[in-house]
Structure 1
Amino acid sequence: MNAIFKSSTAKPPANSGTTASSPAYIISGRVLIVLAICLAWEIAAITGYVDERFVGRPSQVLNALGRQIADNSIWPHLASTMMATLLAFTLGSLLGIIAGLTLAAFPTVDAMLNPVISGLNSIPRVALAPLFILWFGIGVEAKTVAGISLVFFILLITTRSGLKNADPDLLVMSRMMCASTSQTFLKVVLPISLPSIFSGLQLAVTYSLLGVVVAEMIASQNGLGVIVAQYTQTFAINETFSVLLILGVLSTTLAASVAAVERYVLSWQTP
């Protein structure tokens, strides 16, 4: 009987770090998935199952990327896209957060402006990009504004939603404790809205890059979108995929950076 009791209350074995939820396991799985896709792609192109002229080959994509890096042709375009993306993300996020906080603080104004906001947000940015280029030229300003037009509405909506879904009892308690307006904002309102804000930032950092690249593909002096358009027009498929690879790595890096900041800022939250 004692043996049965001891076996039923025995502690589970310690986590060895190789469980299915461990970071190393997840990263390994991601790498294997990417390698499997690339291998299948390579084999399909070599065997003629798919036409290499239209889909390229991973090995040739890497060769094209190596040439672009070696001759330094990619760096000015990468720098231009990065600068416009960071500007669009920063300015659009600040304006969107401020607008979201303001609308949440004034429900009547929010109710009046909500149809206007929804209507403006529903306009495809591809349709607006030519207007931005007409208004601001083909420099960094037009593509930055194109990115801001996406980021602004994302942060406005997520910030406003986060405050609207907050527990009103917390605000009542802060008033009962004679907290000032600034104290209520810093100690109650801002912490409540931070999770929603960071959810918006995760989307915004990707969409800022999307807006910039779309504007570059339409008309710009330089940028990754410019050379993507040039390569596709000349059917340089491997070179096109090499630039798309750079864009994918860039987007992933930006999103991971925002996630790292989120973990640091929200470290006070219980998991």
Structure 2
Amino acid sequence: MTDVANSEAKLGSAARSVGGRPASIFAARAAFLAIILLAWQGAVDSGLANAAFISTPASVAQSLWHLFRDGEIFPDLGTTVLEITIAFALSVVFGIASAVVLDRNDWLNRIVSPFLTAFNSMPRIALGPLFVLWFGIGIASKVVLAFSLGYFIMLLSTLGGLKNVDRDLLLMSRLFGASELRLFRHVRFPWALPGIFAGLKLTLIYCSAGAVIGEMIAAKSGLGVLLQSFSGRFDVAGVLALILIVALLVMTLTSVMDLVERRLLEWSRGSTDVPG
């Protein structure tokens, strides 16, 4: 028993040491970003790449400064964030709810599974103009386009997590008299949380892409409209600046999700971080 306890303690300390150096992680990220920027600038300065096609870090930074200084971006940024938020919320709610229903009803799952696969395989870029025709040029068509991407990711990730619950754990819980509701609350749902959080991150990414793509097809306002405008003027720095804004927005929200995930899944930390 002492040897087992010592081994578990060593594994726990090793797992904590793996994720317990945030300063070094941030430093490594900063160094990696610096390498990318230096390589980018060096490629332009050495003539390997044309600044007219890929711009430069300084030009992109200048475009960012002008966008925020003039306040030009704020109405469009607000529109895009609203579309992403609505589509993400709908994807999460309906995706998780659908997964729970299909997990508990195998007969229904077998019936609708081929149709879900068919709907998910449809190219959204081709459906975009149809969504504009059906739902108008406002935010509704962009929300529907983004939702059509995020919903299936959330559905499949949650359903996969629910289907992979340890059968021995379920059997043991039933032997101790756990009801279906207790099984879901204390076994199925906690077991599926890692898959759900993975789906949340992917859903956020695809909802963001869907909203911007929908705005590029037809919209009154949004970052996609600005992207189309800058692209039409061959303003590469402006296009890259807008792409960077979307990327930073998604990175920030994903970091928040990571923090929440670490808090909620503290019990699972270190489960695969076994030192070699």
Please report the TM-score for the alignment, with normalisation by the length of structure 1.
0.89
- Please say which of residues 174-183 and 90-99 is displaced more in the overlay: 174-183
Query: Hey, what does 2:226 align to over in structure 1?
Result: 227
Count of paired positions: 257
Match runs of 1:186-201 below 5 Å = 186-201=185-200
Query: Hey, what does 2:242 align to over in structure 1?
Result: 243
SS at match of 2:226: helix
Runs of 5+ unmatched residues, structure 1: 1-13
Which amino acid is 2:254 matched to? A
Instruction: Please give the alpha-carbon distance, in whole angstroms, between the structure 1 residues aligned to 2:18 and 2:189.
Output: 36
SS at match of 2:165: coil
Instruction: Please give the alpha-carbon distance, in whole angstroms, between the structure 2 residues aligned to 1:40 and 1:268.
Output: 41
Instruction: Please give the alpha-carbon distance, in whole angstroms, between the structure 2 residues aligned to 1:116 and 1:168.
Output: 28
- Cα distance change, pair 207–19 in 1 and its aligned pair in 2 (3 A): closer
Instruction: Please give the alpha-carbon distance, in whole angstroms, between the structure 1 residues aligned to 2:182 and 2:18.
Output: 44
The one of the two structures with greater contact order (alpha-carbon pairs below 8 A, sep at least 6) is: 2
Query: Hey, what does 1:91 align to over in structure 2?
Result: 90
The answer as to whether partners of 1:143 and 1:211 remain within 8 angstroms in 2 is yes
RMSD between aligned residues: 2.1
2:36 paired with 1:41: no
2:156 paired with 1:168: no
The answer as to whether partners of 1:129 and 1:218 remain within 8 angstroms in 2 is yes
- Cα distance change, pair 123–70 in 1 and its aligned pair in 2 (3 A): same
Query: Hey, what does 2:23 align to over in structure 1?
Result: 24
Instruction: Please give the alpha-carbon distance, in whole angstroms, between the structure 2 residues aligned to 1:136 and 1:20.
Output: 46
Percent identity, aligned pairs only, is: 37
The answer as to whether partners of 1:20 and 1:26 remain within 8 angstroms in 2 is no
TM-superposition CA deviations, 1:160-199 (whole Å, max 9, x none): 1111111122222333222223222211221121111111
Query: Hey, what does 1:120 align to over in structure 2?
Result: 119
Query: Hey, what does 2:263 align to over in structure 1?
Result: 264
Structure 1 position 21, deviation (Å): 7.9
- Please say which of residues 47-56 and 84-93 is displaced more in the overlay: 47-56
The answer as to whether partners of 1:224 and 1:243 remain within 8 angstroms in 2 is yes
Query: Hey, what does 2:128 align to over in structure 1?
Result: 129
- Cα distance change, pair 263–20 in 1 and its aligned pair in 2 (3 A): closer
Structure 1 position 270, deviation (Å): 4.5
Match runs of 1:171-186 below 5 Å = 171-186=170-185
Please report the TM-score for the alignment, with normalisation by the length of structure 2.
0.87
- Cα distance change, pair 55–113 in 1 and its aligned pair in 2 (3 A): same
- Cα distance change, pair 43–155 in 1 and its aligned pair in 2 (3 A): same
Instruction: Please give the alpha-carbon distance, in whole angstroms, between the structure 1 residues aligned to 2:27 and 2:41.
Output: 21
Query: Hey, what does 1:104 align to over in structure 2?
Result: 103
Instruction: Please give the alpha-carbon distance, in whole angstroms, between the structure 2 residues aligned to 1:38 and 1:60.
Output: 12
Query: Hey, what does 1:146 align to over in structure 2?
Result: 145
Query: Hey, what does 2:52 align to over in structure 1?
Result: 53
Which amino acid is 2:153 matched to? I
Instruction: Please give the alpha-carbon distance, in whole angstroms, between the structure 2 residues aligned to 1:140 and 1:70.
Output: 26
Instruction: Please give the alpha-carbon distance, in whole angstroms, between the structure 1 residues aligned to 2:48 and 2:153.
Output: 42
Identify the structure with the greater helix proportion. Answer: 2
Which amino acid is 1:142 matched to? S
SS at match of 2:137: coil
Instruction: Please give the alpha-carbon distance, in whole angstroms, between the structure 2 residues aligned to 1:20 and 1:139.
Output: 44
The answer as to whether partners of 1:41 and 1:57 remain within 8 angstroms in 2 is yes
